[in-house]
Amino acid sequence: MTELPVSVRLNPFKGCDGPEGAAVPWSPYGRTLPSRPVFTLDPLFHAGCYYVQDASAMYVGHLFRKLIQRFDAPVRVLDLCAAPGGKTTDAAVSLRERFGHEFLLVANELQRKRASVLADNVAIWGDPAVRVSSADPAAFAPLKGFFDIIIADVPCSGEGMFRKDPRAEKEWSPELVKLCAARQKRILADVWPALRPGGVLLYSTCTYSREENDDNLEWAARTLGGEIIPPEDEFGLRRTDFGHLLKAGEVQGEGQWAGALVKNGVAASHAAGEVKIPGQMTRLSRGEQKGKDFIPNPDYVLSYDYQGEYPSVELALRDALRFLHRDSFPLEAAAKGYNVVCYKGHPLGIVKNLGSRCNNLHPLSRRILMNIPAEL
């Protein structure tokens, strides 16, 4: 069996350390690798220096970069079906490069288990302007006109994943296409009030069916009230009536379709004041006070906002993996108390050094389960 292409997207705000590969044409930080490494055994992956993402999925990020040119700061964005976090982290980089700190990106995932994975990936990536929520799309409707852009990478019949996931092919049927198309309409209708007039819906799927792609975007424009942004010829990609279709075998990636529309109406100024995001998980604080002790938040030291409050300890590869495995090991040369452990200068997390041993504060949900090879 031919090895499927694998690609990563580098994090420019963490120095762009990561695997080397051929450039992805539509992603400034995307790289297609010559072979698939064992990402679990690369501490830079766990430090948020890069994200493993399909090259075709990065095309949504390309369209997003074009769309944000329409807006001035501050900008509010909702990534509606965000898990596991590829499009979220891509959008976060584009927003920060254009708007600095003046943006809010809400990454939402309805399923709680997938939302927890999303929250971990967002924390590792490190952008403090990203908030994670777990709510039904309809829960955002009361936030009338709150978002400038909504990214809706909706659940679909998955034809674009057949090469990568044999289960998707086995589960596919014409009835599934109809079911997914109807569900996608409901999702768009439910969240539509939260998009401001003049705001943009970026709609995408990983399927090839017209019912779930062009037809649904046309339905949204006609029924909900919007104007489709005509697709342009670029990168030699397939152009459909209302978007672009990337097919496995034609590009270095799996299947993806994406298109966009502008909501009818005159853009209004953002309302002042705080707004509660439905189902929001507040994860990024510097820590919490427990009695007389202040317990630092491991997410904080991974964020762009980390100010270097704690001593740092550089770890060799094996010890970095032992930390990520959540092992306890001595750090005789380190200062007693809280230390940030690093690999190649990149923070991995926090330990509390007791002298003879250290307490490992790496979150249990991020612990690597793979046994560490003896030769490392």
CA distance 313 to 260: 47
Q: Which of 81, 206, 342, 358 is catalytic?
A: 206
CB contact burial 42-75 (16+ within 10 A = b; e otherwise): bbbbbbbbbbbbbbbbbbbbbbbbebbeebeeeb
206 is annotated as an active-site residue: yes
DSSP state of 210: G
In the chain the domains, ranked by start, together with CATH numbers, are: 6-263 (3.40.50.150), 286-366 (3.10.450.720)
CA distance 189 to 168: 26
- Residue 264 is encoded by which pair of tokens? 């009818």
CA angle in degrees (0–180, nearest 5) for 203-207-213: 40
Query: CA separation (Å) from 238 to 56, 59, 208?
Result: 12, 12, 11
Give me the phi and psi of 284, to 5 degrees please: -100, 90
Query: What type of residue sits at position 15?
Result: G
CB atoms within 10 A of CB 110: 19
CA distance 14 to 304: 8
- Residue 172 is encoded by which pair of tokens? 């596919």
Q: What is the pLDDT of residue 273?
A: 60
Q: What is the pLDDT of residue 283?
A: 59
pLDDT along the chain (376 residues), means of 10: 84 94 98 96 98 98 98 97 98 98 96 96 97 97 96 92 78 90 98 97 97 98 98 96 95 95 83 76 79 90 95 96 94 92 97 91 95 85
Ramachandran quadrant class, 345 (left: phi over 0; alpha: psi -120 to 50; beta: rest): left
CB 140 within 8 A of CB 28: no
CA distance 99 to 68: 10
